[in-house]
Structures are given as structure tokens and as C-alpha cells.
Amino acid sequence: MEVRRRHVQTPANAAGKGSGGGHSKVQASDALPLPIRHTNLLFSALFMASLVYLMRRWREKIRSSTPLHVVGLAEILAIFGLIASLIYLLSFFGIAFVQSVVSSNDEEEDFLPHSKTAAPSQCSLLGPTEVPSEKLPEEDEEIVSMVLGGKMPSYLLESKLGDCRRAAGIRRVALSRMTGRNLEGLPLDGFNYESILGQCCELPIGYVQLPVGIAGPLVLDGRQYYVPMATTEGCLVASTNRGCKAIAESGGAMSMVLRDGMTRAPAVRFPSASRAAELKAFMESPENFDTLSVIFNRSSRFARLQGVHCAIAGRNLYVRFTCSTGDAMGMNMVSKGVQNVLDFLQNDFPDMDVITISGNFCSDKKPAAVNWIEGRGKSVVCEAVIKEEVVKRVLKTNVESLVELNTIKNLAGSAVAGSLGGFNAHASNIVSAIFIATGQDPAQNVESSHCITMLEAINGGRDLHISVTMPSIEVGTVGGGTQLASQAAFLDLLGVKGSNVSTPGANARLLATVVAGGVLAGELSLLSAQAAGHLVKSHMKYNRSTKDITKSAA
């Protein structure tokens, strides 16, 4: 959401405008003794005359071998005139610039408090506090009454008050009275409401408390990671932690990022299917890719077009752009690049009607075969070899039972269900928990949880090879919820906070591998619990409220 700054006229300023105003707006040229056009002409003539005179004098001195630094009164005056006119022309030629500065200063003075008391702290993203047509009451109770009476829109509270915390409190009281419901259990204090303004949430009334557990260490690619998981499902963190233990005791897991590209697919319509086919051929032609890349890449220094794939439905054309987005998840970035290309294409295809910037061929926040096959975001595969001894001691089962269960459940069972990208036990559990903890978009859990889990017996049936292949993990380490304090702390815990200066995109790719590693651990542990018949027992133990802390600790 874009936050726009608006300069609002005070009543005094507003009265001075228009045909009936008492005074006109102050102009920078009002300070000059002559009209602006005459002043510009005068200084331009002075500049040229001084320059010509000095050049002639210096030429005569050179011919007569007279030192140039020996000057008379006339030359001193000419030098002074040259410098003065040059300063004027550089500073005042194009007087509108000065007028805008003076005007903006006048407007800023209108917002300065006339009293010596300090103004209340205001939201940093709001800019100057908006002045309402009528002065707001000082008491919160009166403002609540205005909200309830429809005199003050709730969404304007932040800009009118200039205090994000106070706005949230007033909105909360008004909601409670409108609904007759008590919001006592919802915390209000202890949160920085300025941090979400224009970025994460509108119309806030508080925040939800969500517990965060740590699973690990997850040994992945030779490094240890402690994986944060925000969840209310008992046993989830404990189970994932057990999977991490089994992986660590078997030497760790390995991961590979296969692809890294965010997508956006606008939908355009033509008068005929043949015209749509012409644009399809143009977009997919290798000869035109360089031109499209130049246009697309103007949107950002990180956006780099990777490919274009088109699909036709009648006279409608869906153009799926894929591009790298650095350490950002990249939806806004790729959308800007797509808009650049659409504007460019309008010149050669004037009959093209842009229906929407997102035609669902992307496909965002929906299960889709195109993401499962082509990938979206980061495509990652993660694998590990679990030793037979670890399978028996830590996971309480055996290799043969695990392989059989995975075939019947994750592969055949999911096929019977007609699953799309759901050939796994519970990848969504781990993805959602890590996404919430690290400030990702929870709705993108839909395609990010696409996963196929494979288990095979190796080394003569003694050891277990397990892998998860996830073609569309959509994560970022900058932007959105990643800038919130709690979420940024967990990104820092993983060593991926912010952007990677030396290798743009490296932090986001590393986060994607950690997500896949967490899924690997979660799959391993849950399948083991089901193979050993422990699932119901463990959930009855951990998902039931208990005051016996020793049982939970066990």
C-alpha cells in the first residue's frame, strides 16, 4: 500500500486563494525590484557585456605582453558584473524552482505549532499531520463518538491524529462498542504500530500473540540452523525437532536450488484469436527476448527477465513472465516490469486490451499445475541418508516400514485423492510455521507447500534415503513482514536478515533451503510416527492441555 503525503491548506491559507482571496500567494519574484522578465534580460545583457569586455582586454594585454593580473577599475567592475550575473543566472534562471522552495517553506510554517509546547510524536510514514476541517477534540472519548457517529472515518485516524498507537486504541474502543463484544484478551500495548503503517496491515486494533518454538539444530549443507516455527499445533515443533536430530546424527542433509524466478502473468484480449497468436509468437521468439529484457529490467536493478511463456484461450492471451528478484519475494518488482512491457507492446499492438496485470496463469496463492511443473519462486530439492541405527533408535521404526508407508500414503494415496503437488505427509505444517515466524506471506503457503517426498532403501536395505522436492517456495528476506522486529530477529537467527550485498538473492535462496530442510525433518518424523503407530498417542500427549510439566518435558 502506498502512503501518499498530502499538504493540507490551513483555513488562513485557503481564504487567501481564489477570486475572493484577500491576498495572493507569495512569489519569489516579489523580492525583485523589476518584473522577472526584465530582471532576467538585464542580467543576461550584463553577463554578455562583461564577458566580451574582459576577453577583449585580456587579448590586448597578451599582445602587449602586459601581465593579466594587473587590472584597472573598469576591469574590476567587469569581473564583479560577470560573477554577479553568473550567480543570478545559475540561481534564478528558471524562477519556478525558487518559487516552489518559497512556497513549500510557507506551507511548512503553516504546520508549525504556534505554542511553545512540544507537538505529539507522529507516525514517521505519515508526513505532516493532516489538519481536519474542524479541530479534533483532545479527549479520546469524543473522537470515539465521532467514529461511531460517522463523522470521522476509522481509516483516517492515523493521519488525523498523527499517533499510530492512539489511533489503534480509539478504533478498538469504537469496534467494541459497535459490536458489543469485549476485546479484553487482545493485547494493544507493546507493539510498534508505525512499523506496519502502509506496509503490513491497515485499520489495526491490536496484535495476536502466537508462540514460537525452535527446532534444531538442523544440519544442512555443513552448517547448523535453529529453525523458528510459529504454530499453535502441539507436537509439530517436537516432531520436527526429532527429525532434525535424526538427520544430524546421520551426517546432515544436502540441498540444491534448481531454479529461482518469480512469475506474473497478465491477461490481454484481442479482436481475434489470430491476433492473439501473433503476439504469442512475438513474445516467445528468441529474437525479441533481448528487447523485452531491456524494457522489463528498467523496473529495478535486481529484476532480470529470465523467460516468457504464453497460453491462449480463444482470443485471450496469458503471458507468464519469469524473472529474478534478488532477496525480495518479488511480486511487486515483477509486476512493475510486466507493466513496462505492456506499455511498450501497446505501440505495436494497439488493439491489445489489457484485462488484468494478473490473469491467474502466474499462479499466485492457488494450487496450480503450472507451478508444480514449471516452478515459481525457488525450486529446491533436499535430501539425506538416515542410518539404520538412527532409524531404530531415534525414529523407533525400521527402513522397510517407512518405504512401504510412503509409497502407499504419499504416492498412491495422494494419486487416489487427485492431489496437486500434495505428495507428502504434512509439508504445509512446517512451511506455514516458518513463514509466519520469518515474516513471509502466509497465503503463499498454498504453492510453497507443493512437495513430493521420496523414500528409498539403500546400501542393501540397511539405510534410508529421503528427499523432498519443492518446486515453488516463495520467500524473501526484505520487504513485507520481514521488516517487523520479531520476524527480523528470526531471520537474523538464521543468518539471512536483509539483502545480501555481495550476492543479491543469496539470502532468499538460503532461506528457501532452510524451509526445505525443515520440511525434510518434519516428513521424516511424522512418517516414522505413523509407521510405528505412535501418531495418535503423541498427539493425545502433546495436544491436550496438561498441568503436568514433567510429561510435556518428557
Residues serving a catalytic function are 233, 365, 441, 539
Residue 365 and residue 440: Cα distance in Å, rounded?
13
Residue 460 and residue 405: Cα distance in Å, rounded?
19
All three cell numbers of 253: 542433509
Residue 165 and residue 192: Cα distance in Å, rounded?
8
All three cell numbers of 404: 512401504
Q: How many CA atoms lie within 13 A of 295 on its CB side?
A: 17
CB 272 within 8 A of CB 316: no
Instruction: Give burial (CB, 10 Å; 0-12/13-18/19+) of 331.
Output: buried
Tell me the pairing of strands 316-324 and 267-269.
antiparallel
* Numbers of helices and strands, H then E, in the chain: 21, 11
Q: Determine the distance from the C-alpha atom of residue 378 to the mean position of all C-alpha atoms in its chain, rounded to a whole number.
A: 16
Residues in contact with 251: Cβ distance below 8 Å, sequence separation at least 6, in sequence order: 219, 384, 385
Measured in degrees and rounded to the nearest 5, phi and psi for residue 352 equal -80, 125
Helical segments of 260-330, H only: 273-284, 286-297
CB 306 within 8 A of CB 324: yes
Return the SS3 of 5: coil
Alpha-carbon torsion, ordered 307, 312, 313, 318, to 10 deg = 30
CB 474 within 8 A of CB 441: yes
Return the SS3 of 72: coil
